[in-house]
A and B are shown apart, each in its own frame.
Chain A
Amino acid sequence: METAQDTIQQTEAKAEASKTLFKGTGSQVLLNGLIEEGVTTIFGYPGGAIMPIYDALYDYADKLEHILVRHEQGGIHAAQGFARTSGKVGVCFATSGPGATNLVTGLADAQIDSTPLVCITGQVFAHLLGTDAFQETDVINITTPVTKWNYQVTDAKEIPEVLAKAFYIAKSGRPGPVLIDITKNAQLQVEEFPEYVKCNHIRSYRPKPKVRVEYIEQAAALINAAKKPFVLFGQGVILGKAEAEFKAFIEKSGIPAAWTIMGDGAIPTSHPLNVGMLGMHGNYGPNVLTNECDVLIAIGMRFDDRVTGRLDKYAKQAKVIHFDIDPAEIDKNVKAEVGVWGDCKETLPLLTNLVNERKHEEWLAKFKDYNQQEIDQVITPELHPTSDEMTMGEVLRNINEICGGDAIIVTDVGQHQMVACRYAKFNNTRSNITSGGLGTMGFGLPAAIGAKYGAPDKTVIAIIGDGGFQMTPQELGTIMQFGAAVKILILNNRFLGMVRQWQQLFHDKRYSFVNITSPDFVALAKAYYIEADKVDERANLRKALETMINHEGSYLLEVMVGRENNVFPMVPQGMSVSEIRLK
């Protein structure tokens, strides 16, 4: 009797188990896994070694939106833009060989800017590995230095677990790009797969530590005793989704806060304690006063050389407190008196509890003094120029006036990027999308496409120079086909402006190969059936910008700006932040 009962139970259990089994190909189980992870949008490009996955994708059109880009670099930058505006993991597909190597720039960009990505590449059949087969490249080894993690799958049975790990690694701790290389045989292999289980623990990986209160107490003690405390914040605040916690901290402690370009927008531009931008083309006050503050509180930033200038003359008078989720960043460039390793979403509220409510009026007034000097000497001439030539700054001022700080601004790299970061107004977090660490020209257009998919209800403006636009213009085709309503604003100074500025200032005006010519951008856009216009007179600027922003679909506007305008202030390379030049 008992045995019979057991048998019945066992049979039931088996039946139950088989219900949760999925029989199918590695490709199908991969796509099922993506759906389980909440993926809705994939940026990709098919090819020989990833064809089984694309074949499976044919049946998933109702669940997974696939955007066919025009180049794999465009695909990965779009996935980056998507991740940055949505706060989700960006996903892209590419085939083996050239498809995979075209991802490398985007991986490096995502790695240095901590962008969560899962990239799936096809690979030749496992039995062909190492034979120099058609479109075979050693993708794992090529991408190792530019990924947070990568893995080659040769057996479909591994796919669900590896995919779950990939998503967990990409988005937890300090986020970053993950690449999974799947051989064609594994994509085709038919297996019975158990139910998909999300990953939340890997024994060799600690995305974040348990917060140790004693460090926070030490930090609070330093802050409470400080006379001239100064907060520097980076993208860590945004990645940690700790904008509210950060705002609460600065508001209670009354400490002026300046941002790195990756942290821009974590608090509104108009916040009274937001004193501006750090670094080479940052604001005057934040740079000079870095070398005057007594306690420097760095939150989710990594003291990049573009922020610190000459390190041995950087904030030497200050006691440094460094909050970061990545312990390898603490003490890497700047020695911290107190290093607080942890997730700022957890550490900041603890700190806020312990700090005294204060107002640093005299100290804040110093920032205002410097700001006034900068307004008089740099900002007013840039935003309200008196010459006939248009400036990049006045274009930004007009955008601010039209959008009121609610647009998402995606930039490329160069002078326009610095001007956009300096002058764009942001009311909301995740609104400034730029290639900060790697400085990838060609990032702007594809990233803006992804940004629009990540934030479909927002106005997305891609501000791009005439040089950078010519690196990835093929993605106009993606806009043409899939209709991402991206507003493309080309600021054309008929130079590779930033390099020209350096050649003017540091190389005796020897303009070596910075004189770049451009096609007729308006005609180019129209060839892709994208509405376009060009402005070369101030009188038409405002109206043209309004037309662009109010246009229903995508739109390209080329604005001719002064040829030899420079971005100031500037901390020349190798100089201290306090040696910042206003002209």
Chain B
Amino acid sequence: MSTENTIQHTIDKADIDGKQEYTITVYAENRIGLLNRIAIIFSKRKINIESLNSSASEIDGIHRFNIVITESYEVVRKLARQIEKQIEVLKVYFNTNEEIIWQELALYKVSTDEIAEKVTVERLLRQYGASAVVIRKDYTVFAVTGHREETDALVKALEPYELIEFVRSARVAIIKDSAGFHEKLKEFEAFEPGEELVENEFLDKGEKIFTM
């Protein structure tokens, strides 16, 4: 149900101002200051980063950023090029929500007494796909992984029962159509890049080309 909502939401927004949610995936060297270099590309243009995650990637020593923004295709493409231009960035992809699998993790701290008295914990766990991480006399911590709408729904459900603390992680996303970075990296390490690396969208506008 929530997925349907998301798609509807996306289409509506795209219709209004040409903007929609894009997830930018950046493969980069793990270097001090690179996050700032990337962040200022957005702030220079007064674009708000909705979510930013920095983590390891499938390759040892290579970092992977996931950045979520709501912008038009044109703007996102230009941003992606500016990011890829940074010396320590290997590759940038950007995708619409349809093109990725993504999750966010949310944690909820509620009073154990309150929740034990007023709601069936079991129902909560089942309905929202939550798991109890910690159960103490004074409080209980639930965790939910899912899309924004799913984690938001539990916030709503818990609001009447004194939600003591709430936190949600940045989005992490896997690109459906990606074969990973192992093969690409070999090309990057080669002195003479092959044609495949020198992707150039000006001609190759095949369906699978979602890269810059």
Contact = CB atoms under 8 A, between A and B. Distances in A.
- Give the top 4 A-B pairs by smallest Cβ distance, nearest first: A328-B81, A209-B198, A339-B202, A203-B188
A204 B36 contact: no
A556 interface: no
Interface string A469-508: 0000000000000000000000000000000000000000
Contacts of A150: 33
Given A169-B87, A204-B90, A330-B202, A144 B36 contact: yes
A331 B201 CA distance: 11
Given A144-B33, A145-B40, A204-B90, A338 B81 contact: no
A144 B37 contact: yes
A214 interface: yes
B88 interface: yes
A205 B189 CA distance: 10
A332 interface: yes
Contacts of B192: 210
A215 B202 contact: yes
B193 A206 contact: yes
Given A204-B29, A339-B202, A144 B81 contact: no
A327 B87 contact: no
B108 to A, nearest CB: 36
B33 A327 contact: no
A149 B28 CA distance: 14
Contact of B198 (A149, A203, A210, A336): A210
Given A203-B188, A204-B29, 20 more contacts: A141-B36, A148-B87, A149-B87, A152-B33, A203-B90, A203-B185, A203-B189, A204-B90, A204-B188, A205-B88, A206-B193, A209-B200, A212-B195, A212-B198, A214-B203, A215-B200, A326-B85, A327-B81, A327-B85, A328-B82
Interface size for chain A: under 10, 10 to 19, 20 to 34, or 35 or more residues?
20 to 34
B78 A332 contact: yes
Contacts of B185: 203
A328 B88 CA distance: 16
B212 interface: yes
B89 interface: yes
Interface residues of B, number: 32
A233 interface: no
A341 interface: yes
Contact of B203 (A145, A205, A218, A327): A218
A332 B90 CA distance: 21
Nearest to A333: B78
A210 B193 CA distance: 7
B182 interface: no
11 contacts: A204-B29, A204-B188, A206-B197, A210-B193, A210-B194, A210-B195, A327-B84, A332-B78, A338-B202, A339-B202, A341-B198
Given A328-B78, A328-B85, A336-B202, A209 B33 contact: no
A56 B72 CA distance: 54
Given A209-B198, A212-B198, A327-B212, A201 B33 contact: no
B61 to A, nearest CB: 11
Contacts of B189: 203
Contacts of A375: none
Interface in A362-417: none
B36 A212 contact: no
B89 A204 contact: yes
B195 to A, nearest CB: 7
A140 interface: yes
Contacts of B33: 140-141, 144, 150, 152
A325 to B, nearest CB: 11
A149 B33 CA distance: 11
Contacts of A149: 87
A202 B198 CA distance: 16
A203 B91 CA distance: 11
Nearest to A330: B202
A154 to B, nearest CB: 10
A336 B203 CA distance: 11
B105 to A, nearest CB: 29
B200 A212 contact: yes
Contacts of A202: 87
A210 B89 CA distance: 19
A214 B90 CA distance: 25
Interface in B36-71: 36-37, 40, 44
